[in-house]
């Protein structure tokens, strides 16, 4: 992930994007990170993320430094449950180390006050997130 100001890179970190396979290991696009330009529309210092199916889902409290950029709930956020950055393995989100998520959260627009720690913005939204496949 590269953070750009104009054409200058001001920050870079390794990520884990959406998996290209399902829970059974079958290739699929179901969990892929949506390609193209998106705008950050909500930021939360911490959020409880829940999803998936019984026995195959996830229930993760306290996901820090979350920047939602897709109406389907896809976000850039901190990840404490793995260290496989560089490997696609999320359910669509962009997983980063907690210290990287914190830097991105503080840099990206819109800004968020620490109290209440949550902001939702109208369109056109905040910082543009351009998802490309390499």
Number of C-alpha atoms within 13 angstroms, CB side, residue 131?
A: 20
pLDDT digits (tens, 9 = 90+) for 52-82: 776 667 788 889 999 999 988 899 999 998 9
Give dist(CA 83, CA 43) in Å, integer.
23
pLDDT digits (tens, 9 = 90+) for 5-16: 999 999 999 999
Most confident of 19-23, 24-28, 105-109: 105-109
pLDDT digits (tens, 9 = 90+) for 109-120: 988 877 766 777
pTM over 0.95: no
Residue 117: its pLDDT value, please?
Answer: 67
Tokens of 112: 């968020």
Give dist(CA 41, CA 128) in Å, integer.
10
Nearest to 39 by CA among 13, 14, 5, 68: 68
Nearest to 76 by CA among 105, 39, 45: 105
């Amino acid at each position: 992930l590269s953070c750009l100001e104009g054409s200058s890179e001001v920050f870079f970190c390794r990520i884990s994007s959406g998996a290209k396979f399902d829970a059974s290991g079958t290739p699929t696009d179901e969990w892929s990170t949506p390609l193209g330009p998106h705008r950050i529309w909500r930021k939360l210092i911490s959020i409880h993320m829940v999803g998936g199916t019984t026995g195959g889902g996830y229930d993760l409290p306290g996901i820090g430094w979350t920047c939602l950029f897709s109406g389907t709930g896809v976000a850039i956020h901190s990840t404490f449950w793995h260290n496989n950055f560089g490997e696609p393995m999320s359910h669509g989100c962009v997983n980063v180390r907690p210290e990287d998520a914190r830097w991105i959260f503080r840099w990206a627009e819109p800004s968020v006050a620490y109290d209440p720690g949550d902001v939702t913005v109208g369109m056109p939204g905040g910082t543009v997130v351009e998802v490309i496949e390499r």
